[in-house]
Amino acid sequence: MVSQELLEILRCPVCVQDKEGLLDLVRDAWLVCRDCGRKYPINDDIPIMLIDEGDKWIQTPVEDLPIPPPEIK
């Protein structure tokens, strides 16, 4: 599980430039940006905060996100 301290400081790498970029933890497996809707997977307790990863899932509804997230290759 990702530590609460880390969750408090993580921000969406796209939105943090202009907005707050706050993230919500979803089902202990995804971080979802409140501003843009990008979704970042958490693999082995490590948030994958790559813009390309967030872009892959932006159109996927939260309820359709796979649990666990697919491994990054």
Phi, psi of 51 (to 5 degrees): -60, -40
Residue 41: what pLDDT? Answer: 97
Residue 72: what pLDDT? Answer: 82
Total domains, the chain: 1
Residue 72 covered by a domain: no
Residue 69 covered by a domain: no
Residue 61: what pLDDT? Answer: 97
Facing residues of 42 across strands? Answer: 47
Residue 45 covered by a domain: yes
Residue 28: what pLDDT? Answer: 95
Q: pLDDT in tens for each of the 73 residues of the chain?
A: 888 999 999 999 999 989 999 999 999 999 999 999 999 999 999 999 999 999 999 999 999 999 999 988 7
Contact of 33 with 58, CB cutoff 8 Å: no
Sheet architecture: strand order including 30-33: 23-26, 30-33, 39-43, 46-47
Domain CATH code at residue 17: 2.20.25
